């Protein structure tokens, strides 16, 4: 039996969905695209990571962007409620350190599931008079949504509607350190 048992539940990685090498290739492509999209624009470019899931993706992404004046900032949010379902109620634990006024902002997400976290943050940041706001998400889940999604300018991968872990994404705080993206399986432990 593989995996680990926590609180009577066996957690194991059912399969690898996206290998590490493919992730690295795609992130370099996104970095090149962002570099060229902002090349002629002299406003400051601030990459805003949504903690904690976006940290791994963002660390690789910023090193793939060629721009000497790039800066980074972070915002920490959490949806209320536990487990593998998004509740839509967003709470801010840590706000941005810097002002975004007059800057081009790229909001970096790990995954867009319901899209509610993103819609909330896009609205919040847009009210602070940035020159522009774009969204870059490592993953986009293919699923029906009740609310329309905001425009997502950069997407790493479209994935099926399954619960995934690794490359920053967690289950109960674990698995963020995996270099690849996997599908988690939960079963009752004997």
Catalytic positions, written as ranges: 113
Rg (CA), the chain: 17
Residues 33-62 that bind ligand IMP (CB under 6 A): 53
Residues 38-57 that bind Mg ion (CB under 5 A): 53
Distance CA 6, CA 11 (A): 8
Phi, psi of 37 (to 5 degrees): -65, -30
In the bound state with ligand IMP, the residue whose beta carbon lies nearer, of 105 and 109, is 109
Residues 73-92 that bind ligand IMP (CB under 6 A): 79, 86
Q: Would you count residue 137 as binding ligand IMP (CB under 6 A)?
A: no
Question: Could you tell which of ligand IMP, Mg ion, none binds residue 112, using a CB distance below 5 to 8 A set by kind?
Answer: ligand IMP
Q: Would you count residue 110 as binding ligand IMP (CB under 6 A)?
A: yes
In the bound state with ligand IMP, the residue whose beta carbon lies nearer, of 60 and 110, is 110
For residues 147 and 122, is the Cβ–Cβ distance under 8 A? no
In the bound state with Mg ion, the residue whose beta carbon lies nearer, of 44 and 53, is 53
Q: Would you count residue 181 as binding ligand IMP (CB under 6 A)?
A: no
Distance CA 133, CA 187 (A): 41
Q: Which residue is nearest to Mg ion (CB)?
A: 53
Sheet strands side by side (includes 164-165): 4-6, 9-18, 181-188, 164-165
Exposure string of 99-130, with b = 16+ CB inside 10 Å and e = fewer, is ebeebbbbbbbbbbbbbbbbbbbbebbeeeeb
In the bound state with ligand IMP, the residue whose beta carbon lies nearer, of 37 and 170, is 170
The minimum distance between CB 67 and ligand IMP, in angstroms, equals 25
Q: Using CB under 5 A as the criterion, which residues of the chain lie in contact with Mg ion when the complex forms?
A: 53
């Amino acid at each position: 039996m593989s995996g680990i048992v926590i609180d009577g539940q066996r957690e194991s990685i059912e399969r690898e969905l996206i290998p590490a090498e493919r992730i690295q290739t795609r992130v370099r492509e996104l970095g090149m695209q962002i570099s060229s999209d902002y090349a002629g624009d002299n406003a400051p470019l601030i990459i805003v990571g949504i903690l904690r899931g976006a940290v791994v993706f963002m660390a690789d992404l910023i090193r793939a962007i060629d721009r000497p004046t790039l800066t980074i900032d972070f915002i920490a949010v959490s949806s209320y409620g536990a487990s593998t379902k998004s509740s839509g109620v967003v709470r801010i634990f840590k706000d941005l350190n810097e002002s975004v006024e007059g800057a081009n902002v790229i909001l970096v997400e790990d995954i867009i599931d319901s899209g509610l976290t993103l819609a909330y943050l896009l609205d919040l940041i847009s009210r602070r008079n940035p020159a522009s706001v774009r969204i870059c998400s490592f993953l986009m889940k293919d699923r029906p949504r009740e609310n329309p999604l905001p425009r997502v300018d950069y997407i790493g991968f479209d994935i099926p509607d399954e619960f995934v872990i690794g490359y920053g994404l967690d289950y109960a705080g674990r698995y963020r350190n995996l270099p690849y993206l996997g599908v988690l399986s939960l079963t009752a432990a004997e």
